Amino acid sequence: LKDEKEITCFEEALPHTNLPDKTYDIIFFLDAIAYFEEEDMRLVFSELQRLLKSDGIIVISSPLDLHSYDALEKFIDLFSTEFDVLEKKTSHHLLFLKLRHFLQKIQNLEKACIFQHFKKEEIKKAKFMYRSFLKLLATKKLHRALKPLASWSKQLQSHLEKSSKAPIALEKITRFILPNSTASHCILSGKRKPLFPSNSQEENKKRPPSPETDLYDSLYEK
């Protein structure tokens, strides 16, 4: 980017920057918010709102914690503190992530059978049942049995990660068999919240929906 004549590069660090207010027509903030401490996340969104022009668009994406039942709702709520949501796109890669984790687990177990320092690290990270299994059975004898399986899992994992079709196919399966599963990733686009609600917005809130023409509008707003 530094070689592009029409692009100016800046090095700044969130949650606070020295960039001028309302400067950018569009802001992309991709898969980064999850790396901030929770207490800094609100500050990050506030700073992004400061940098965006009044009629600008922001696009933010983030992986979501599959172990949290309300991770998606929390992410949207956080986004909504500074921006109005224009569009939402979620991905459901639960099966893909679980399969990749399982294949990596096989490879780690095979490695723990022959490298004591790696075995100790795995034991520290493991939960109770798996920790006991590692201590008792992760030996060179088990390694001989695991070696071909670990080699196969490594090849399959490599294929999954390089393939463009496998994640899509697994996502379709996830949506079919687990329609209410937790989203694994979310992309939101939005615009700055107005400082004061417009009169039309206030009137729409106060006006009771009519049986016909306003029914769709009231459902859409929900």
Q: Is the omega angle on the peptide bond into residue 209 within 30 degrees of 0, that is, cis?
A: no
CA-based nearest residue to 143, from 170, 172, 118? 118
- Residues 52 and 58: their CA atoms lie apart, in Å, by 7
User: What percent of the chain clears pLDDT 90, i.e. is strictly above it?
Assistant: 60
> Where residue 195 falls among pLDDT bands split at 50, 70, 90?
confident
* Predicted confidence (pLDDT) at residue 58 exceeds the cutoff of 50: yes
Residues 143-167, mean pLDDT to the nearest whole number: 93
CB 60 within 8 A of CB 33: yes
pLDDT confidence bin for 216, thresholds 50/70/90: very low
Residue 214: is its pLDDT beyond 50? no
Q: Mind listing the domains of the chain with CATH numbers?
A: 24-92+182-221 (3.40.50.150), 94-177 (no CATH)
Model confidence, pTM: 0.71
Answer left, alpha or beta for residue 94, where phi above 0 means left and psi between -120 and 50 means alpha.
alpha
CB contact at 8 A, 172 and 61: no
Q: What is the mean pLDDT of residues 148-165?
A: 94
pLDDT recorded at residue 194: 84
| pLDDT for 215 | 37
pLDDT level of residue 222 (50, 70, 90 thresholds) = very low
Mean pLDDT over 123-137 rounds to: 87
What is residue 202's predicted lDDT score, i.e. its pLDDT? 53
